[in-house]
Amino acid sequence: MRPSVARLGVGGPVGSGKTALLECLVPLLTQRGIEVAVVTNDLLTQEDADRLKRKGFLPEERIVGVETGSCPHTAIREDPTMNLLAIASLEQHYPQLDLIFVESGGDNLASTFSYDLIDAYIFVLDVGAGDDIPRKNGPGFLQADLVVINKIDIAPYVGADLEVIRRDAAERRRHKPTAYTNCKTGEGLEQVLDFINEKLLFHRSNNPRTDVA
Amino acid sequence: MTPSITTRDCDRRLALMQLSDSFFPSGSFTLSHGLESLVQSGQVRSPEDVTTYLQILLHNKVGASDVVALLAAHHGSVVGDLNQVRRADQMLFAYTLVQSAREAQQKSGHALLMVARSTWPDEQLESLQADVLKQQIHGLHPIIFAVVGRAAGLDADNTVFAYLHSWLTGLAGVAIRLGAVGHIHAQQMITTLAPDIDHVVQQKSDRSLDDLWSCTPAIDLAQMKHRHLPQRLFTN
């Protein structure tokens, strides 16, 4: 039996940089020979899907927009069937796929994924939301397999103390990893790539990054 | 404390509630059946308008074709004749005029089949899944619902009630999310429509697949326009 394609959820509040993160990750993964597709869940339009398509780093048919009809968490947790159908269709048309991203629409700190939909998920936050975010104990932040704290470059301008975030995140997420990124420069993305390779692509013989500890 | 009865022996009302609950995941919350388009164009503005929309859709499409096909499929499933189920699927497809409505019925049918196969393991559901994969049936929602109802141990009457209840509560939720009604109005609307639901259930016995019809021109046009809306929350 052919192993199913690895699925990675990407969630987090509106404007935290979920689509920007994908715009960085997809070309990096593609360069490493990993075959990728993306399912987006945009609240109002197919804007995220269209934005990704305009970038042109993936064939258009590998980017599917799913209208969710309600608050985005419904489509990634309580009833992820429409996303599962989109995944099944991608798997059927592109049997060579290694990884499918499921990008949630922007939601709140309580938003989590059903593990019937994905194998692991990333929760993206940005420092502009404040350095007290880890202390709010949002289930999305606490439970995600990887938290990405994005836009670290703007911390000084929004009065956010990165050291406070680092300390509180380590304390509250215990052994789960947290990455610190600036998607504009690519800073910190290596850690996210390492996470994807270790957590989702570990069983693949064509894993090009076997050197990851 | 080991329970001595199996799931099959449990009160069927539990299966009825499970299948008709909006918590049951079949993707139907992503469908507005033209209501989003009608709200955006201003054709539906008030709770009264929503009620009228629901009555027209119920009597002139859902009751006149979806439920009739559902019953034919349920009967086929009960007597173990999957060809009857396939024929109902084909007929309903042919009688559903709007392309986006056919696609929505297909999508939610496949979603329901996916969840139901894991919930109520059943040979007929597996056969239908094989048919869907080979594209030998369309797998429309009412048809799949009929076989799922039978697999869950529901008779024809209860399967129709479950179908209509999920349809009505689903659309009431859509109307709330579109801002056309509030949560109290939505409940009043569901109560108001009880006689209409009853009427559809009562008239079912004298209909066969040869009597399918539908007539909802304004809703059909709204559904056709939906995919061209610049902003939309729903799939149809």
Has residue B129 got a pLDDT over 50?
yes
Domains and CATH numbers, chain A: 6-199 (3.40.50.300)
B210: in domain: yes
Tell me which residue range forms the domain holding B44.
30-226
> Least CA distance to B35: which residue of chain A?
A69
B168: in domain: yes
Residues of B in contact with A44 (CB under 8 A): 231-233
* Number of separate domains in chain B: 1
Alpha helices of A56-207 — where are they, by DSSP H? Answer: 72-73, 81-93, 139-143, 162-173, 189-199
Please report which confidence band the pLDDT of residue A47 belongs to, taking 50, 70 and 90 as the band edges. Answer: low
Residues of A in contact with B231 (CB under 8 A): 44-45
Distance CA B35, CA A213 (A): 54
Q: Stretch A115-122: mean pLDDT, rounded? A: 96
Look up the pTM and report it: 0.88
B235: in domain: no
Has residue B76 got a pLDDT over 60?
yes
Beta-carbon separation of B23 and A68 below 8 A: no
Q: Stretch A106-135: mean pLDDT, rounded? A: 93
Please report which confidence band the pLDDT of residue A206 belongs to, taking 50, 70 and 90 as the band edges. Answer: very low
Q: What is the pLDDT of residue A131?
A: 93
Per-residue model confidence as pLDDT tens digits over B29-63: 889 999 999 999 999 999 999 999 999 999 999 99
Q: Is A4 on the interface with B (CB under 8 A)?
A: no
Q: What is the pLDDT of residue A45?
A: 57
Q: What is the pLDDT of residue B151?
A: 97
Q: What SS3 class is residue A124?
A: strand
State the nearest Cα–Cα gap between A39 and chain B, in angstroms: 15
B42: in domain: yes
**Residues 6+ away with beta carbon under 8 Å from B103:** B236
Has residue B156 got a pLDDT over 50?
yes
Question: Percentage of residues in chain B with pLDDT exceeding 90?
Answer: 84
Beta-carbon separation of B233 and A80 below 8 A: no
Please report which confidence band the pLDDT of residue A207 belongs to, taking 50, 70 and 90 as the band edges. Answer: very low
> The sheet that has A120-126: what strands, in order across it?
A63-65, A36-40, A99-103, A6-11, A120-126, A146-150, A178-180
Distance CA A8, CA A100 (A): 6
Please report which confidence band the pLDDT of residue A205 belongs to, taking 50, 70 and 90 as the band edges. Answer: very low
Q: Degrees (nearest 5) of the Cα angle B172, B65, B196?
A: 45
Tokens describing residue B189: 């609307």
Nearest to A81 among B23, B26, B230 (CB): B26
B140: in domain: yes
Instruction: Please give the DSSP secondary-structure letter assigned to residue A75.
Output: I
Distance CA A10, CA A123 (A): 6
Q: Is A44 on the interface with B (CB under 8 A)?
A: yes
B232: in domain: no
Distance CA B173, CA B179 (A): 10
Q: What is the pLDDT of residue B3?
A: 56
Beta-carbon separation of B110 and A85 below 8 A: yes
Distance CA A101, CA A27 (A): 13
Please report which confidence band the pLDDT of residue B227 belongs to, taking 50, 70 and 90 as the band edges. Answer: confident
> Least CA distance to B230: which residue of chain A?
A45
Which CATH number goes with the domain that contains B206?
Answer: 1.10.4190.10
Q: Is A45 on the interface with B (CB under 8 A)?
A: yes
